[in-house]
Chains A and B, each alone.
Chain A
Amino acid sequence: MTSDTAASDAIELHDENVATELSVLVEQLLDEAKKQGAHESSATVSDSISVEVSARERDIENIAYEQGRAFRVTVYVNQREGTAVTSDVTDAAIRDTVAQAMSIARYTEADPCNGLPDPDRLATEFQNLEQSFPQPVDIEQLKVDALLADTTTLDYDPRIMPAHGASASQTETCAVRGNSLGFLSANRYTVYGRSATALARSDSGMQTDYWYDQNCQSECVESADFIGRKAAERAILRLDPKPIDTGTYPVMYDRWTAPSLLSPLLDAISGGTLYRQESYLQDSLNTQVATKSLSLREYPHIHKRIQSRNCDADGVSTTEHTIIGDGVVNTYLLGTYSARRLELASTGHAGGVTNVHVETEFTPIDELLKEMKRGLLVTSLIGSGTNLVTGDYSCGAAGFWIEDGEIAYPVDNVTIASNLDLMYRGIVGFGDDTQDRGTFKTGSILVDSMTVASN
């Protein structure tokens, strides 16, 4: 028996009964909470197994096997709340963990907004969102994939140097959530991923970039050689950047950086930000906060997507709805607690959004670049310089200088700055080059004017 076979044999993937097994634990936690005097309680048990293989300089570098289980229990006693989390999976831990949560609930102050969701908002329909496509761990295949991605990167161009290499991974997770109102929901999903980093060197210095893809279905992940090539290509394109003059220019976020332009807008209308009075968009419901051409619609139940879900972190059912319609805030994003704080109803957003699509009139990307004429195309962002309280925005960026609607040369080490309010109102075009790798489905987005500082 070779050593690798021995290891593969030792990886026990979840069997069919894992959800039942975790459900039993959730029931145990809830029963224990009731026994110890909780009036209401909720519990989550999750279990995940993952394997990641990385390769570097055409050889395997790391093989990492991970297995972890965790409990989380929240108890309510007279609207006082206590939470405890543990990765101790012994039977005694259930009792101790609940006891810790109870002891905290005895000392916190009562808050009328605390407690489980209103029973009629709890999800009752659970469609199969098809997020779990388990397959046996094939270490040899993961090694082949990681090596191929690394080798393709290195072979792409003589200016590519060995750097951090490439990886291939597979994860299986099962999470069961329940509460003392009888709610119980199990969620199983798989994630297959591949990634590569590339370091390119020229006389003017080094540039790195990366590429990755992930999906719940193994066969839908971009191929290892594609990932490797893409990482190398991106790093090479960034070589030999030129300085630009500090000034005010149109800025286009490419389709991969566009999500980070849009996500502060959702943060600013999220319950937690609003009830803490930390948003520049306080009292913005039904008001215009962005250009009329921007609509954001959420689709929580798309099949075969990792982000999809039937219910939010409180167990409240998720629904398809328009968040921003023609630039107007149609709904805040509220969980049970934040909704009560704001005297509104939960929108099923405890834990955040699912799949958010930009819905607008898209412009062919080449035309959009021509419309832009001269300015900065951003392909990479660094640092987080967003102040939601004031809307002030300042971020490190790299990308390409656009001259006469075409890429002229790479630009590095600049900052782009404005105010979120001006930026969202100042969006003047959406590219048709849409991608939907993460939460957002969006193309490139053109902002009319931002301050670009350079050396």
Chain B
Amino acid sequence: MSDSTAQSRQALLEQAELTDQDLALNVSDMMNRQLDDAELFIQHNRSEAWALEDGKVKDGSFSVSQGVGVRAITGEKTGFAHTNELNDRALRKACTMAASIADRGSNRRAETPEEVLFRRLYAGGDPTAGVTNDDKVRFLSELDHFTRSLDPRIAEVSVSIRGSTDRVLVYGSDGTNQFDDRPLVNCRIHVIVKDGDRAESGTEGSGGRYPLDTFFLDDFATTKEMAREAVRMAVTKLDSVPAPAGEMPVVLGPGWAGVLLHEAVGHGLEGDCERKHTSCFAGKVGEKVASELCTVVDDATLEHRRGSLSIDDEGTPGQRTVLIEDGILRGFMWDKHNAILTGNQSTGNGRRESFASLTIPRMTNTFMLAGESDPEDIVRSVTKGVYCSAFSGGQVDPSSGRFVFATTEAYLIEDGKLTSPIHGCMLTGYPWEVMNSITMVGSDFALDPGVGTCGKQGQGVPVGVGQPTIKVEQITVGGTSA
């Protein structure tokens, strides 16, 4: 552990009015209750947000969330208690409540804590440090002026920036003693354009685990590009026509479209679904589940990415896990608890929204690797279909596999060319049908700009997605033009 990280860890403990001895004693006391596993998760999250709308920087907020979550495991059972009161008395009480789950003998004892070395994928510390409040306000105002200057049809602009630092300490009876300091920033630009009685919106954002001043570099070069993109998207849609309805070929553009993979295969490959046999992929490792053009990975180890984790919320170092290789299902994403119960190893996918939520297996950055097709050839190959380039999100029922995702920018493809923009609409399908009907995979791999949040069991966590341009031969397009 570097000096600054050690200091940051120490500061977290001091804020919590706890010492390493308190942690050790509470964990070993819990293990005396005959548990299989006991774990403490201490967290301090500081975040600030600034927003501009109607030409004014009128919203600012600052928030601190801190607390400790205590988990006690016996077999398949979990006892969980959390409190935002941070001191030894409150911790002891939470430990007692969590440990009450114990219902059978286990002679396990707490192991000596040991820090496992891992690669740091982002710098710790406050990502907003070094940016004054004056800078933030000026940035929002200038970006607003710039955006409004792009098109006379702009009726409303809102811009926001947010930065947070999340310090977590995981201390467990299995010897885990890991600390991570995770920065996260994002910037979002939203515009409304009006032309006669038509109105449309466009949104662009980006973010990741890097300093907030990244958005300010080179005279706001990257954020100005985002503004242009938001305006272009909104203006384009002013001319949109009703989307078609029914099953047809769909070409998905690079980057954000990876939300398809996230919904269609990602959730079904989370280890809890495998253990509980609630996934349509359960028990299918080694079987063909997608076209042989598809290789899908979950990779927590990309530097500075929104979905990346140096360690997960159980202290396991972030990893790259191949989920599907050349169409064959290779494996699932595991947290410790589900992995132990099924004889697997954690893949570093144990995540929780905060100390107040239970850890469950979750994705990090999930994407499809590049193929060999020229993206232009992919569009040229479609006689009649739809091209989708921007999405607002999706949802899946992992057991039936049925998933949906909503396009926010899409075009008709007619005789191999993009023609009219179409209204936003839902796409829906079953994973095995859609994944097996991927007939072309482009060479233009891209990750999303870093704006994704995944929700599962009421818990939101930052994630990344990505893919090259792909062609899906048959998927249901939910437009109005039957």
What residues of chain A have their CB less than 8 Å away from a CB belonging to chain B?
3-4, 6-7, 10-11, 56, 59-70, 80-89, 93, 97, 100-101, 103-109, 111, 114, 139, 161-164, 199, 205-208, 246-248, 275-278, 280, 341, 382-385, 387, 389-390, 392, 394-396, 398, 412-419, 451-455
Contacts and interface: CB of A to CB of B under 8 A. Distances in A.
A204 B118 CA distance: 45
Contacts of B80: 62-65
Contact of A107 (B136, B356, B396): B136
A455 B475 CA distance: 7
A392 B424 contact: yes
Interface in B225-246: 243, 245-246
Interface stretch (B20-28, B71-79, B215-223): B71-79
23 contacts: A10-B93, A11-B97, A56-B276, A64-B80, A68-B84, A68-B356, A80-B58, A82-B60, A83-B62, A84-B61, A85-B62, A93-B64, A107-B60, A109-B56, A206-B278, A276-B53, A383-B428, A385-B406, A413-B429, A415-B476, A417-B426, A453-B247, A453-B477
Of all A-B residue pairs in the complex, the 7 with the closest CB atoms, nearest first, are A415-B478, A7-B100, A396-B404, A104-B60, A383-B404, A246-B246, A453-B245
Given A60-B77, A62-B77, A87-B65, A384 B58 contact: no
B122 interface: no
Contact of B78 (A61, A88, A101): A61
Nearest to B33: A3
B246 to A, nearest CB: 4
Interface stretch (B193-201, B288-296, B304-312, B363-371): B193-201
Interface string B125-165: 00000000110110000000000000000011010000000
A116 to B, nearest CB: 16
B354 to A, nearest CB: 10
Given A108-B58, A208-B399, A65 B98 contact: yes
Interface string B417-440: 000000111111110010000000
A104 B58 CA distance: 10
Contact of B96 (A6, A163, A164, A278): A6
B100 A81 contact: no
Interface residues of B, number: 92
B426 A87 contact: no
Contacts, number: 289
B247 A163 contact: no
Interface string B265-306: 000000000001110100000000000000000000000000
B246 A453 contact: yes
A389 B192 contact: yes
A61 B77 contact: yes
Nearest to B61: A83
Contact of B428 (A107, A248, A415): A415
Contacts of B423: 387, 390, 392
Contacts of B79: 62-64
Given A382-B397, A412-B400, A6 B480 contact: no
Interface in B386-433: 392-397, 399-402, 404-406, 423-430, 433
Contacts of A66: 81-82, 356
Contacts of A162: 276-277
Name the residue among B61, B194, B427, B478 with the largest chain A CB count within 10 angstroms: B478
